[in-house]
Chains A and B, each alone.
Chain A
Amino acid sequence: MQTRRNALKHTAVVAGLLASTGLFPQFAFAFNKSAFDAKSVADALKALGASGALTESKDVSVTAPDIAENGSVVPVGVATTLAGVKTLLIMVEKNPATLTALFNVTESVEPAFQARVKMGQSSDVYAIAIMNDGKVLFAKKEVKVTLGGCGG
């Protein structure tokens, strides 16, 4: 016999099953969520497993405008002239989440990328190169934002 109590119990079971099978699609592949949630440059690097000391280097470059009128579209370029780069990162220090983009460099591409990013407020933009030998090199540039591109 179908009682109200049983019906409620079944509903709860089905809901539980749906929740466990539906999952969250972002965990289905190797997306490093903790790194993209990190609130500072140091935390993001830690989440990526880059343990080397952060060193400023003139061989790493970041290109960005001095003043960005619209914070929702700021062209940023990161590049390095060094060989043996494993990963290049773009970080915006004062954004809600610091890490913006991560590029896994291979032999077949030049370690130079351009993308457009959103900036919530004026901030330092970092180009960070994680080298194959574990060194972490960076360059930074301050970008002034007239109109923020996050929230509103």
Chain B
Amino acid sequence: MADPMRIRAQAAGDKATVRVLMAHEMEGGQRKDASGSIVPAWYIQEVTATHNGKPVLTAEWGPAVSKNPFLQFVVKGAKAGDKIGVNWKDNRGDTRSDEATVS
């Protein structure tokens, strides 16, 4: 299981800004290791965000997203105390879900 994500959700008015920092290698499949063989691609492909359990955002990523990806988005109608969940799945089938409370 991968390391936990760091999620911060801050309410401002009737929306909340969510910042997510995921821990993932995001290997692009272009790099070569010391012996000259290509390091196989290993990256997050699907990201889903939920607001109180309701999906609000899905994203698909390619290998060109940076290592330990950062994502910021704004959820409408979210207020303090609401739950924001984020889930990712990488190309090896690994997944990770984390949840944060809007403050």
A residues with CB within 8 A of B? 25-26, 28-29, 31-32, 36, 72-75, 77, 92, 95-97, 99-110, 112-120, 149-152
State whether B91 touches A26 (Cβ < 8 A). Answer: yes
State whether B66 touches A117 (Cβ < 8 A). Answer: yes
- Partner among B65, B72, B76, B91 whose Cβ is within 8 Å of the Cβ of A108: B76
Q: Chain B residues with Cβ under 8 A from A31's Cβ?
A: 45-46, 60, 91
State whether A95 touches B64 (Cβ < 8 A). Answer: yes
B interface residues, how many (CB within 8 angstroms): 37
Q: Chain B residues with Cβ under 8 A from A101's Cβ?
A: 59-62, 65
Contact of B31 with A by CB under 8 A? yes
The 3 nearest A-B residue pairs measured at CB: A25-B93, A110-B74, A116-B66
B residues with CB within 8 A of A? 15, 26, 28, 30-32, 45-46, 49, 51, 54-67, 69-77, 89, 91-93
A8 CA to B30 CA in the complex, in Å?
A: 36
Q: Chain A residues with Cβ under 8 A from B56's Cβ?
A: 106, 108-109
State whether B73 touches A72 (Cβ < 8 A). Answer: no
Closest to B26 in A: A118
State whether B30 touches A150 (Cβ < 8 A). Answer: yes
Can you list 17 A-B pairs with a CB-CB distance of less than 8 A? A25-B93, A31-B91, A72-B67, A96-B30, A97-B64, A99-B62, A102-B60, A102-B61, A104-B60, A105-B57, A108-B56, A108-B75, A109-B74, A110-B73, A113-B73, A114-B71, A119-B64
Q: B101: shortest Cβ distance to chain A, in Å?
A: 17
A19 CA to B31 CA in the complex, in Å?
A: 26
Closest to A97 in B: B62
State whether A108 touches B64 (Cβ < 8 A). Answer: no
Q: Chain B residues with Cβ under 8 A from A120's Cβ?
A: 30
State whether B28 touches A25 (Cβ < 8 A). Answer: no
